[in-house]
Structure formats: structure tokens, C-alpha cells
Amino acid sequence: MREIVFDTETTGLDPKEGDRMVEIGCVELVNRVATGVTFHAYFNPERDMPAAAEAVHGLSISFLEDKPLFGATAGELLEFLGDAPLVAHNAGFDFGFLNAELERISFEPVCTSRMVDTVALARKRHPGAKLSLDALCTRYGIDRSHRVNHGALLDAELLAQVYVELTGGRQIGLQLAAEAAQPRAEQNSKIARVSGRADGERRDPRPHSASEEELARHRAFLEQIESPVWSS
């Protein structure tokens, strides 16, 4: 199954108040395994950047002013998303900004039935625990040492790892993907190593029937038993 984990960075908290999306990062998962295929874009918000927002993600207006408007890459983004479920942390926030940008250019919104919220998943699995992305990375031993500021693609990559852990699919997904990616010859080699033969050839089956000598020894042993139960 194909899923997209995504994150956004914005100028603020509410698109209804004029806040805009300035960055989106998307990571493709197939059967809960990251494929390495991503989508990432910055956008010119056509407005100022509040200091509080810039302190979070580090994106200044001087950096964003030469970036394309959202409408210039919307088609490419929607093509990447396809009809896959969309996974986000506090997904209502990210869906709200994505659909607000689509509405601005008269595109159909992304249906919220596709929304998978990792905050809701984490709350159900770890009631009472901290639910931030940082807290979940710590819980699952996911390295976030390179995360100085929030960044849409980096956060989506971290969230993809968290999502796999939340859904309990890490070992299963990795095993399926690895086996699917193995060439047939390599799989045969693996089977051969298990059987102890590096060349992949099958060895002759061992004899399982007793020899005449073994049968004679067995009869002699039975004759030494006094009053055996099987002869009564």
C-alpha cells in the first residue's frame, strides 16, 4: 500500500487569518517502508514573515521571495500525492493549510477522509504521554540530532519513522521489502547458506532406514529383556 507522510511550514497558525504555507515536504511509503522518493518545495507567501514563525523554521522573506508561488507547483504536488492516504502530525493543521492554498487557486480540496493523524495514533497507543514529534522520536530511539530548526522534509522523514513504529509495522515492512528486492539468485544463495552449502547445490538425502546390521543388534537387545510387555 502506498502512503504519503507530509509536513508543512507556515507563516502562522491560521490560514483564515491570512497565514500562508511556505514549505511542504512529502515522503513516500510503500508497505510502511520509505522508498526514497520525496517531494519538497518552498513557496513565496506574498506577505511578511512574523518573527515567531521564523524562529521556528528559520525561513525568512528574503529567502522565500524568489521562490515560486504555490500555484506554480500545485499540479506537480497533487500528482505526487495521487490518491494515497496522507499522514501528518496534528494532521488537521497541515490539511487546513494545504486546502486553503488549493482554494486560493480554485483547485478542489484534498478530502479529509484520506487524513491519518499521528497525534491521534500516539494518543491512543500512549495515553497520557507527551505527543510531540520530538517526544515520539525519543520514545522510539529515532535520531533527530540533525534537527536544529523545523523543516518540512526533515520532519516528514522523522515522522515517517515514527508512523511505522506507531503502527507496529517496522519489522514486518522491512522484511517484506527486503525479500521483494532480493534477486532470485540471492534468495537461492540465502537458502543454500542455511543448508550449509555455499554452492547452492542440494546434497543427497541421508538414508533413514536401518541397516541389516542395525536390525540384528536390535533383535539381540530385545531377546535380553525378560518378560517384555509386548509379548504378554
- Active site (catalytic) residues: 150
Residue of 81, 85, 118 lying closest to 102 (CA atoms):
81
- Inter-residue contact 41 to 23 (CB < 8 Å): yes
Sole residue written with cell 502506498: 2
Q: Residue 37 gets which letter from DSSP?
A: E
- The grid coordinates of residue 170 equal 517496522
- Burial label for 24, CB within 10 Å (0-12, 13-18, 19+), is buried
Alpha-carbon distance 29 to 77, whole Å?
A: 16
Q: Which residues is 40 bridged to in the sheet?
A: 25
- The grid coordinates of residue 166 equal 506507531
Alpha-carbon distance 44 to 18, whole Å?
A: 14
- Inter-residue contact 165 to 10 (CB < 8 Å): no
Alpha-carbon distance 160 to 37, whole Å?
A: 12
Instruction: Indicate the SS3 state at residue 129.
Output: coil
Contact partners, residue 195, CB within 8 Å, separation at least 6: 202, 203
